[in-house]
Chains A and B, each alone.
Chain A
Amino acid sequence: AAGVIQSPRHLIKEKRETATLKCYPIPRHDTVYWYQQGPGQDPQFLISFYEKMQSDKGSIPDRFSAQQFSDYHSELNMSSLELGDSALYFCASSFSASGYTGELFFGEGSRLTVL
């Protein structure tokens, strides 16, 4: 079965540079979530999209922005990168059909290292 696809899997950037992460949700899933997981930390919710519209916002820095496109893929844009942005970034998707209880399907993550 198709899973959530994230790219790139690994990314190395310098401070103050810009990075873009991509996420392709499971086909027919209508909601995409972005999470940031620092070393030894729990995943922190950044932002979510439902049917291509931003639905909820978590602890996403102002330097970050995200959008969901007409084909449902999503991109997380990070500018003015800081050392503290080094983390594993997960995308997850879900399908909010009747009876949905909140489980997410995660991609394998994109590891960003800022030097």
Chain B
Amino acid sequence: GNSVTQMEGPVTLSEEAFLTINCTYTATGYPSLFWYVQYPGEGLQLLLKATKADDKGSNKGFEATYRKETTSFHLEKGSVQVSDSAVYFCALSDKTGGSYIPTFGRGTSLIVHP
């Protein structure tokens, strides 16, 4: 079956530091890959996505590249801000039996200090 593994948190950084959150996946087909972000007290929001190998998703300074050879989709940001503090979920979505059922990783908490 499909699965997503992401690095455990919390990840604690100072403002303007470089961020990497690792994510690897296992899938039987050719999934689309996503990063969702969950701010405190809120639901998950789509941050970025990539639908095929070598695609790069980007949004709000965050980037992730779909690497089929390493089955990875690592999230990066060059300079984090305090407002980026949240939980980040890597996810994949594969069409199984005619419908999409996304599979999520466990989430990585990011804490950014001023």
Residues of A within 8 A of B (CB): 4, 31, 33, 40-43, 45, 48, 50, 55-56, 58, 90, 92, 94, 96, 100-109
Contact = CB atoms under 8 A, between A and B. Distances in A.
A58 B101 contact: yes
A103 B36 CA distance: 10
B48 to A, nearest CB: 10
**Majority DSSP secondary structure for residues of A touching B:** loop
Interface residues of B, number: 28
A109 B102 contact: no
B46 interface: yes
A41 B32 contact: no
Given A102-B93, A103-B34, A90 B100 contact: no
Interface in B64-114: 89, 92-97, 99-107
B49 A109 contact: no
A5 to B, nearest CB: 11
Contacts of B100: 94, 96, 100-102
